[in-house]
């Protein structure tokens, strides 16, 4: 068991012991504060701020303190009345106090964890805590989640030279389409540990317990984890397909079984309106997109210097799907879906800055991988390996 879990467990048990001694009346104000604090962390949702946004804690923290203090004050008014009623029922009072204090201690650890995770040396231990992961599974905290996947840097992102595809501007209404929002529920944030360092990217559920992402997102990985919608516990994943030429990888994630897979369009049509889903900049986002042509005649190259040598740089002769839409580091592996929530392509690179020039892996390579994938496979060797 990790030291963090031992500390969290000791705090909760200490709170339970304190509650046994103080009884229900003594623990009631603390329980009121805990309830108010939890309600306060939901304020960002009421304000239209995504809980995974870095801005969510800005609204959540003061709201949690204010609501917590308010409910604690209200509960304090009932303490004397409760103490009189339980004067001759000490066991009931002790049990109630232990329960309320234990819940308060648990909430305190849940609230404190995101702040502790901002300390560099504590990020990994907090992210790997089994107790905190279970708490986050029950109730999502406010702010970007720690995955325990090491270095929070984003995966290497292929930068594409060349013009945007010759299609109309993307339709902004696609970002709020109900089927697009439903498809977003099957998108995952991927983290890896490797000898090259850590990194993160995007992916999507394509079959029961199977996730699609880019090969470059999980390249040379020693450990891979995924978080559904970027929140909750980090689920262990194993690569079962790795194709650096077409930049596609499949991950088997047993703990994602039951999550709705996204349907795949077999022959996506140029000009289809939709949205790119994923974690650009490490934050979950939905961005308008419009599909361009799928062709092996596109000119240009990948100018990023961070990709392993087995990934081809030249685009001409390589079958790719262009789309009009902005993507950036962290977008890699995310799906582009139409307004029916069906996958049109899988993002693997984009233009520099605010360019709307982006490229995706054609669906035929994803379908081939899903048909042929089997046991666990290697994800390549490190760039830093002196024997390479």
Q: Are residues 326 and 192 in the same domain?
A: yes
Q: Are residues 262 and 366 in the same domain?
A: yes
Q: Are residues 129 and 231 in the same domain?
A: no
Asked whether residue 182 is domain-assigned, the answer is yes
Q: Are residues 332 and 202 in the same domain?
A: yes
Q: How close are the terminal C-alpha atoms of the chain, in Å?
A: 36
pLDDT value of residue 98: 86
pLDDT value of residue 352: 67
Question: Under a CB-based contact definition with an 8 Å cutoff, are residues 124 and 225 in contact?
Answer: no
Domain end among 138, 158, 191: 138
pLDDT value of residue 147: 46
Q: Are residues 50 and 93 in the same domain?
A: yes
pLDDT value of residue 292: 93
Domain end among 94, 112, 138: 138
Asked whether residue 134 is domain-assigned, the answer is yes
pLDDT value of residue 85: 74
The Cα 305–Cα 131 span in angstroms is 40
CA atoms within 13 A on the CB side of 224: 32
Could you tell me the residue range of the domain that residue 103 belongs to?
A: 3-138
Backbone angles phi, psi at 308, to 5 degrees: -60, 155
**Proportion of the chain in helix, strand, coil states, percent, rounded to 5:** 40, 25, 40
Q: Are residues 340 and 262 in the same domain?
A: yes
Q: Are residues 80 and 217 in the same domain?
A: no
Contacts of 1 (CB under 8 A, 6+ apart): 130
Residue 336: CATH number of its domain: 2.40.10.120
The Cα 203–Cα 194 span in angstroms is 18
Asked whether residue 146 is domain-assigned, the answer is no
Contacts of 81 (CB under 8 A, 6+ apart): none
Name the token pair of 135.
């708490």
Asked whether residue 193 is domain-assigned, the answer is yes
Q: Are residues 364 and 298 in the same domain?
A: yes
Q: Are residues 181 and 329 in the same domain?
A: yes
Question: Under a CB-based contact definition with an 8 Å cutoff, are residues 56 and 106 in contact?
Answer: no
Question: Under a CB-based contact definition with an 8 Å cutoff, are residues 337 and 344 in contact?
Answer: yes
Asked whether residue 159 is domain-assigned, the answer is no
Name the token pair of 120.
């560099």
Asked whether residue 330 is domain-assigned, the answer is yes
Helix (H) or strand (E) holding 97: helix 90-117
Q: Are residues 212 and 342 in the same domain?
A: yes
- Tell me if residue 5 falls in helix, strand or coil: helix
Q: Are residues 224 and 297 in the same domain?
A: yes
pLDDT digits (tens, 9 = 90+) for 207-248: 999 999 999 999 989 899 999 988 777 889 999 999 999 999
Name the token pair of 178.
């109900």
Residue ranges in the chain modelled with pLDDT below 50: 1, 146-152, 385-388
**How many structural domains is the chain composed of?**
2
Q: Are residues 116 and 262 in the same domain?
A: no
Asked whether residue 379 is domain-assigned, the answer is no
pLDDT value of residue 79: 78
- Tell me if residue 6 falls in helix, strand or coil: helix
List, as one string, the DSSP characters of 345-361.
EEEEEE-STT--EEEEE
The Cα 365–Cα 320 span in angstroms is 10
Asked whether residue 22 is domain-assigned, the answer is yes
Name the token pair of 161.
């030279």
pLDDT digits (tens, 9 = 90+) for 94-149: 888 788 888 888 888 877 777 666 555 565 566 666 677 667 666 667 665 544 44
């Amino acid at each position: 068991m990790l030291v963090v879990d031992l500390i969290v467990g000791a705090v909760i048990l200490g709170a339970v012991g304190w509650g046994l001694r103080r009884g229900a009346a003594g623990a009631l104000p603390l329980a009121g504060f805990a309830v108010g604090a939890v309600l306060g962390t939901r304020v960002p949702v009421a304000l239209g701020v995504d809980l995974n946004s870095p801005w969510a804690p800005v609204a959540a923290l003061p709201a949690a303190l204010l609501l917590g203090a308010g409910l604690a004050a209200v509960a304090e008014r009932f303490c004397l009345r409760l103490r009189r009623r339980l004067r001759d029922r000490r066991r009931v009072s002790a049990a109630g106090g232990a329960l309320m204090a234990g819940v308060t201690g648990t909430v305190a650890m849940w609230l404190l964890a995101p702040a502790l995770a901002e300390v560099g040396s504590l990020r990994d231990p907090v992210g790997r805590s089994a107790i905190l992961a279970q708490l986050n599974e029950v109730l999502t905290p406010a702010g970007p989640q720690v995955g325990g996947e090491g270095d929070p840097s984003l995966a290497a992102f292929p930068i594409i030279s060349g013009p945007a595809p010759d299609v109309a501007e993307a339709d902004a209404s696609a970002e709020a389409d109900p089927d697009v929002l439903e498809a977003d529920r099957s998108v995952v944030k991927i983290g890896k540990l490797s000898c090259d360092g850590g990194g993160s990217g995007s992916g999507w559920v394509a079959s029961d317990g199977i996730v699609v992402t880019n090969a470059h997102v999980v390249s040379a990985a020693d450990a891979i984890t995924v978080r559904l919608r970027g929140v909750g516990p980090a689920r262990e994943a194993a690569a079962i397909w790795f194709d650096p030429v077409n930049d596609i990888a499949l991950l088997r994630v047993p703990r994602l079984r039951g999550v709705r897979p996204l349907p795949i369009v077999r022959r996506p049509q140029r000009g289809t309106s939709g949205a790119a889903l994923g974690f650009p900049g490490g934050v979950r986002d939905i961005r308008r997109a419009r599909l361009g042509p799928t062709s092996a005649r596109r000119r240009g190259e990948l100018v990023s210097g961070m990709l392993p040598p087995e990934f081809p740089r030249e685009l001409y002769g390589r079958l790719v799907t262009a789309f009009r839409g902005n993507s950036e580091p962290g977008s890699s592996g995310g799906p582009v879906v139409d307004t029916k929530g069906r996958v049109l392509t899988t993002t693997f690179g984009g233009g520099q800055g605010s360019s709307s020039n982006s490229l995706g892996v054609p669906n035929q390579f994803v379908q081939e991988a899903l048909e042929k994938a089997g046991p666990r496979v290697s994800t390549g060797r490190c760039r830093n390996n002196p024997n390479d």
